[in-house]
Amino acid sequence: QVQLVESGGGLVQTGGSLRLSCAASGRTFSTNTMGWFRQAPGKKREFLAAVTWSTSTTYYADSVKGRFTISRDNAKNTIYLQMSSLKPDDTAVYYCAASTRLVDLSRDYAYDYWGQGTQVAVSS
Q: Is 12 left (phi over 0), alpha (psi -120 to 50) or beta?
A: beta
pLDDT at 73: 92
Q: What is the pLDDT along the chain (124 residues), one digit of tens a residue?
A: 999 999 999 999 999 999 999 999 998 888 889 999 999 999 999 999 999 988 889 999 999 999 999 999 999 999 999 999 999 999 999 999 999 988 899 999 999 999 999 999 999 9
Amino acid code (one letter) for 105? L
Q: How far apart are the first and last CA of the chain?
A: 40
- CA pair distance 121, 10, nearest whole angstrom: 6
Q: CB–CB of 111/51 below 8 Å?
A: no
- CA pair distance 101, 62, nearest whole angstrom: 21
Burial of 71 (0-12, 13-18, 19+ CB in 10 A): middle
- 51 membership: H or E segment, kind and range: strand 46-52
pLDDT at 29: 82
Contacts of 36 (CB under 8 A, 6+ apart): 20, 22, 48, 49, 50, 68, 70, 79, 81, 94, 95, 96, 97
pLDDT at 12: 97
